[in-house]
Amino acid sequence: MDYDLILVLGIIIGVLTVPAMLSAFLDGSAPRVATIAAVVSGGMIVFAAYNAPGGYTFAELPDVFTKVVAGFVR
């Protein structure tokens, strides 16, 4: 299982939930889908961080992103 891919997808989903939550709060509705996406995102990030050999540091995140994107571009 590719923990780098899970981490990157979790971060991307987490970033995309911020505008969804803000939109729901500004409209006065409950952010149900955004909350579920945030929980899934957090779960993916925690799963990847705990199961990857050696874990991740903040300094490694740009390299992880580039490696995942390069894997799709090739």
Distance (Å, rounded) from C-alpha 11 to C-alpha 38?
10
Instruction: Give the pLDDT of residue 74.
Output: 84
What is the residue whose two structure tokens read 């955004």?
34
Q: Is residue 46 within 8 Å of residue 5, measured between CB atoms?
A: no
Q: Is residue 56 within 8 Å of residue 3, measured between CB atoms?
A: no
Tens of each residue's pLDDT in the chain, 74 residues: 699 999 999 999 999 999 999 999 999 999 999 999 999 999 999 999 999 988 899 999 999 999 999 998 98
pTM of the model: 0.89
Instruction: Give the pLDDT of residue 1.
Output: 61
Q: How far is CA 62 from CA 17, 41, 42, 56, in A?
A: 21, 18, 19, 11
